[in-house]
Each structure stands twice: as C-alpha cells, then as structure tokens.
Structure 1
Amino acid sequence: MTENASWAAITAEDPDHSQWYVDRFRGLAAEGADLDGEARLVDALLPRGSRVLDAGCGPGRVGGALHRAGHLVTGVDGDPVLVAAAEVDHPGPRWLVDDLTTFDLGETFDGIVCAGNVITFVEPALRRAALTRLLAHLEPGGRLAMGFGDHRGYGFAEFRADAAATGWAEDLLLATWDLRPWTPDAGFLVALLRPAAAADARATP
C-alpha cells in the first residue's frame, strides 16, 4: 500500500483500519488530549448558531466540538464505521454516510470544515470533483477551512491550482490551525477559501 493511497483502498486492504482509527481518537480523548483545535478556528469564523458542514467528518470530533459550541452541524463521511462512531460519541449533529465526490444534500451551509487530511484520502483523479461538490454546498458569503499535510503526495501548489480551477478564491493561508503564518517551506497547510464569484463581486466597486 502506498503512503498516499485513498481511504477506500486502505480500508479495502485492511478492514480493521476504520475501527483502529476510531479507537485511536477515543483513546486520545480519554487521555485528555486537545482535539478541538480545528473547531476553535472554524468557530471564530462564524456567528453562533451557524450551519456548518463537517466534510469528511470521520468519528465526529470536529463536528461534535462545533455542535457543543452552538452551531448546527451536518457531518458527511464515506466510511460507515466512522459515521457510526460519530453517532455514538458525539450525539446532536446530523451524521451522514455519503461520498464527498458526488454528494448532494440539497442545501447550503454558512461554513465548511474539511480537516484531518481528508482531501488527500480522495482519489487524485476525483479531488477536483470533491472541491466542486464542496463549493456547491457553501453559501456565497461562506468560507471553507481545509487542512492537510504534505506527507501524503498532494502538493500544496497542486491543491491551490485545483481549488482555483474549481471556483475557489484564497482568503488566508496558514501553517497550523492555531493561526501560524504559512510559508512555502511549511509542512502543513490550512487554507481558508471562499467562492471566487463572491470574492470577485466584493472587489467590484
């Protein structure tokens, strides 16, 4: 298995991988680890009570924290084992099993978070499809917070080109979820993006 294999390929080869992932974060939570960094940033971007999409929600730690902060959260993930864990560990949000490259919830959100290297676990040929579907689920004035590391074969320059090609504009690039500035030699990227059409309209006198 290559280090940049998709989540589907990883779980096909190792059916126990999803449960291992669930158990890993349950263990970290039991140890008192701070697992809410991504949620704190997203919470700062939005008014209380905003509608938030947790895209690639996994076992629900980010969406769960945002729900506890007072937001209306929907989480989507293609792995039913992870979604089942989210339902147990983080009641309150709406948790759905769906494919980020094709999903259509028939509604839009004030903000979207896509954390935990989610975009790198999408098949490379389908990453633009996933970015397109995320854009379709965002309010014109909303923002997407996307975070991932450079260790899984998806270069930051490639991601930025894919985002621009699918209708996203960059608001801010960070190197961490705790707001450290991004530099070209950073090993992690947190991109705050908004719909390019909305950004262009705002810039027009």
Structure 2
Amino acid sequence: MDGMMSHTTSARGELDPVAESVAVYSDHADDYAAVHAPKMADRAERFAGSLPTPSLILDAGCGPGRDLARFRAYGHVVRGVDLNPVFVAKANTYAPTSQCDLREIGTRFPAGTFDGVWASASLVHLDAAETVDVLGQFGTLLRPGGKLYVCLKATGHTGWLDESEGRRWYTVWDPDEFAAAVRGASFEVDRVDRGPYVEVWASRNG
C-alpha cells in the first residue's frame, strides 16, 4: 500500500506499531466515523477562522474526512492524507485525499505549499522521535506565518493499549515537552490547551 511498505517492519524485524495500529481502524471505520462526527467542531471553527479565506489547508491524518468537510464549509481549499485506505476512500467524498504515511509527508508536496496544517490526534501512534521529525516536515510544508494545530495524548502510559476495536500503540506526551518540540520545529507557539489531549496552536516562523 502506498506510503506504508517502507515502515511495515522495524529494524528489529517487528511489525511497525504505526502500521499495525492504523490497520485496526479498517474493520470499524463506519462506527468510528459516527462516534467522532460531532467532536472537535469548535476547534475546527477556530482554526478555520485563524486563516484568510480561502486558504489551502492540509488535513494530515484526516480519517474519514470529517474536518475536510468542515473546512470546505468555511470557504477553504483542503487536501487530505491518511494511512488507512478505508478512511482515504471515505474522505475522498469530501476533498481530494491520498494514502500517505505521515512520516513521509514532506516528500508528497513542495515546501511552502500550505497555509495551514491540521493534525487532529493523527500523531498519537508515532513514537517521540518520529513525532519530532513529522513536526519538522509540517514546518517545511507551511509557508512563513502559516498555522498549525496538533493534538495528541497527554494522559495514560506510552505503549500498547487493548481497546474494544483492537490493539493500538500510543505515545503519551508531557504538555510542556510537546510544546517545546513544536517550538523546536520552527514554530512560534500561540496557545497550549491542556487536558486528556494536549492541543498546540502555532505559527510557522520565517
């Protein structure tokens, strides 16, 4: 599958936790879409309002396309990427979406392509080093002054979690450490919201 093969196994020959975790969503994609449909509406509205209309937004890890539809409704131009092929098929009904491993996102678009990058809980299955690397790639893809929203888990324990849908890997971040990682990726942090998920709102330096 496009964007997945190079990360299917780790250097130790083990299954890649990201690919393994993302694959779990396929069997419950409709349920996932229904459960999460009403969530994050206020955040999407705030992010959309932080950008001139129309702006070009990348929904990085768009899932079944909920926020693609929202950003279009606010007058923006949107592109989606996701690693799960079932989600990609669903998201394509809302906006052009391609299958892509976020760890390779910087190879998919020219530098400075986007006015905004929206990454809502899409980095939760990456380890800390991978997350830092992807944040740097987001910085490259954004124009100077472009906006970033990213949130990930700030409670629980890093490692495998057995959930009703299946087994997934999660990396849990300290909010201050995550904000520092965003700053280190050439961003100015505009706002940090703390809770079960740490939410960082940032602007691209330059």
Tell me whether the two structures share a fold, i.e. TM-score over 0.5: yes
1:135 aligns with 139
Q: Which residue of the other structure, out of 70, 81, 91, is the alignment partner of 2:75? A: 70
**Separation in structure 2 between the aligned mates of residue 131 and residue 157 of structure 1, nearest angstrom:** 15
Displacement of 1:145 in angstroms is 1.1
Q: Which residue of the other structure, out of 15, 23, 32, is the alignment partner of 2:30? A: 23
In 2 relative to 1, CA 154–6 (structure 1 residues): closer, same or farther, beyond 3 Å? Answer: farther
**RMSD of aligned residue pairs (Cα, Å):** 2.3
Displacement of 1:82 in angstroms is 1.2
**Separation in structure 1 between the aligned mates of residue 204 and residue 102 of structure 2, nearest angstrom:** 18
Displacement of 1:34 in angstroms is 5.3
**Which protein has the bigger strand share?**
2
Map 1:43-122 to 2 at 5 A.
43-88=48-93, 90=94, 93-103=95-105, 104=107, 105-106=109-110, 108-115=113-120, 117-122=121-126
In 2 relative to 1, CA 6–194 (structure 1 residues): closer, same or farther, beyond 3 Å? Answer: farther
Q: What letter is aligned with 1:120?
A: V
- Matched residue SS, 2:30: helix
2:10 aligns with none
In 2 relative to 1, CA 6–41 (structure 1 residues): closer, same or farther, beyond 3 Å? Answer: farther
Q: What letter is aligned with 1:133?
A: Q
Count of paired positions: 173
1:194 aligns with 203
Q: Which runs of 4+ in 1 moved over 4 A?
A: none
Gap regions ≥5 residues in structure 2: 1-15, 156-169
- Matched residue SS, 2:118: strand
Displacement of 1:131 in angstroms is 0.5
**Separation in structure 2 between the aligned mates of residue 99 and residue 16 of structure 1, nearest angstrom:** 15
Q: Which residue of the other structure, out of 9, 29, 44, is the alignment partner of 2:20? A: 9
1:156 aligns with 175
**Separation in structure 1 between the aligned mates of residue 58 and residue 129 of structure 2, nearest angstrom:** 23
**Separation in structure 2 between the aligned mates of residue 17 and residue 28 of structure 1, nearest angstrom:** 13
TM-score by length of 2: 0.74
In 2 relative to 1, CA 190–139 (structure 1 residues): closer, same or farther, beyond 3 Å? Answer: same
**Separation in structure 2 between the aligned mates of residue 70 and residue 96 of structure 1, nearest angstrom:** 21
Displacement of 1:35 in angstroms is 5.4
In 2 relative to 1, CA 35–132 (structure 1 residues): closer, same or farther, beyond 3 Å? Answer: closer
Q: What letter is aligned with 1:69?
A: Y
In 2 relative to 1, CA 165–34 (structure 1 residues): closer, same or farther, beyond 3 Å? Answer: closer
**Separation in structure 1 between the aligned mates of residue 137 and residue 102 of structure 2, nearest angstrom:** 7
**Separation in structure 2 between the aligned mates of residue 155 and residue 6 of structure 1, nearest angstrom:** 21
**Separation in structure 2 between the aligned mates of residue 86 and residue 39 of structure 1, nearest angstrom:** 16
**Separation in structure 1 between the aligned mates of residue 97 and residue 48 of structure 2, nearest angstrom:** 19
